[in-house]
Amino acid sequence: MNAVLETRNIKSILAKFQIEAPELQVNELVLDSREVAVHSVFVAIKGHQLDGRDFIPQAISLGAKLVLQEVEEQQQHGAIEMREQTILISFFQLGQKLSLLAAEFYGSPAEKLDVIAVTGTNGKTSVVQLISQLRFLSGDITASIGTLGAGIYNVDNSGLEKTLNTTPDACQVQKLLAKYVQHGAKQVALEASSHALVQGRIQGLKTDIAVFTNLTRDHLDYHGDMAEYARAKRLLLNQPELKDLILNADDAETENWIKAASNTQTITVFSTQLDRTQVSSKHQYCLATNIQYDANGLSFELQSSWGDAAIKCGLLGKFNVSNLLAALASLLVLQRPLKTLAVLCEQLKPVAGRMELFKHPTAGNLIVDFAHTPDALEQALKSARVHCEKQLICVFGCGGDRDKGKRPLMGRAAQQFSDQIIITSDNSRSESENAIVSDILTGISDNSRIKIETDRKKAIQLAIAQSQSGDLIVVAGKGHETEQIIGQQSLAYDERNYVNTLCLGKLQ
């Protein structure tokens, strides 16, 4: 997606942060010194892992006209010096104010968009993609930012460009939004990861709607414990101009969101377990009742504050009912017509690598899913079970150099909710694949249903070979990803493409 970014006078922008800067025309803010170009401003902040100030010489050598450098002392704020042909300006608490600065620099693009931010352990990608699909199908230009990439939405996701993180840095977010506005977008749906919220990447982003999907164990290697992880998610409540909250009433953490919400924020709850008589009169609601599953998808009766409707779609699993409710609630809050949305649901396509079905002509069908936490694996297997006629086979592994405590929990989930298990590798990184497998096995008490094959491709072939028509194979962990990290290497591996090739009878 190409767009020409406007040239801006840094003097008027920095004046709003009490800095008297010289007249200088620039067109972008960058945090990565390798991306510096002639008209760039290099923003040197002290990060969580790296100190951007260490890369100022590199930015200067690449021709940066201006460097904003973070300083610890307030009296240094606004100090200006020259280094070669580059202006250096000191900025107190630059890291904390970066999102606000970036919004100001790029002309506050969020003010021209409906901004929906989605957080939660599981479901962020699916909810963002379902919101984008429905808005696209209704004829609007819409954009998304998240795990699958960032860009203007289209049917095959070809408009998405890969990003380094689920939620890009503060400068990138505002730059992307400015591009989307140029392309005529009316809405952006974005994933707000807990890392991004703690690091303030979207701190100054005007947000219309915040969606909370659920909270289960993940990222404890970063947050330390579940209480800190939960608090990180709730930071989304502090977004500027946030008016509407879309909350999962089936998750216990929602009570904490309701308690923390301000009186100016309207709450809409969604649920697959409640009916309208059980919802507080203070809240709007979006509920699924009479949920039905078949080999081709699911259907349910929708009860909502905007009316009732029959919903039918080609998605798989109960948690996708929950994801769809979150998406529908978001668009209903934005006054999209319920009747139109109900019709459009029949056109929805599965999200890439999220309970994505691949049909095998002679053996069991396969589902590729990104599930890489204990709860996500449990939900994926439970969801697959309602679409499974015979045996449910689970192929999964666990990532290396990440939360080791979840490995036995994932083993336990696989044992409890599937009939046969094949343990394989995931992104093993610097750890031994066999050591990771051993950790998984500590959560499994019955080894009679287990096979171990650390070559992931061979593990999938093994699952197909031991299956028969009517069985269902869940291949969990990789989802949409196109590489596998082993040691220090990132090896090309597209699981969706590989599974599709196997189903077509073209072994690689």
Flag whether 124 is marked binding: yes
Residues in Cβ contact with 61 at an 8 Å cutoff, skipping those fewer than 6 apart: none
Flag whether 172 is marked binding: no
Taking the alpha carbons of 31, 32, 33, 37 in that order, is the dihedral positive or negative? negative
Flag whether 266 is marked binding: no
Flag whether 33 is marked binding: yes
The answer to whether the CB of 333 falls within 8 A of the CB of 343 is no
**Tokens in use for 404?**
């080791």
Phi-psi region of 224 (alpha: psi -120 to 50; beta: other; left: phi over 0): left
Can you point out the beta strands (E) in 333-423?
356-358, 365-369, 392-396, 420-423
Flag whether 53 is marked binding: no
Flag whether 330 is marked binding: no
User: What are the start-end ranges of the H helices in 240-373?
Assistant: 254-260, 318-333, 338-345
Flag whether 31 is marked binding: yes
Rounded to the nearest 5°, which phi and psi values hold at 246? -110, 110
Of 207, 198, 174, 20, the closest CA to residue 101 belongs to: 174
Of 365, 351, 384, 359, the closest CA to residue 463 belongs to: 365
Flag whether 125 is marked binding: yes
d(C-alpha 166, C-alpha 163), whole Å: 7
Flag whether 167 is marked binding: yes
Of 3, 4, 38, the closest CA to residue 24 belongs to: 38
**Tokens in use for 282?**
């203070």
**Tokens in use for 62?**
């690449």
Residues in Cβ contact with 356 at an 8 Å cutoff, skipping those fewer than 6 apart: 350, 367, 368, 369, 479, 496
Flag whether 122 is marked binding: yes
Which DSSP string do the residues of 45-80 spell out, in sequence order?
Answer: -B-SS-BGGGGHHHHHHTT-SEEEEEES-GGGTT-E
Flag whether 165 is marked binding: yes
Flag whether 490 is marked binding: no
d(C-alpha 221, C-alpha 114), whole Å: 34
Amino acid identity for residue 201 in this structure: R
d(C-alpha 51, C-alpha 45), whole Å: 6
**Tokens in use for 379?**
């939900």
- Known binding residues for ATP are 120-126
- Known binding residues are 31, 33, 120-126, 165-167, 193, 199, 201
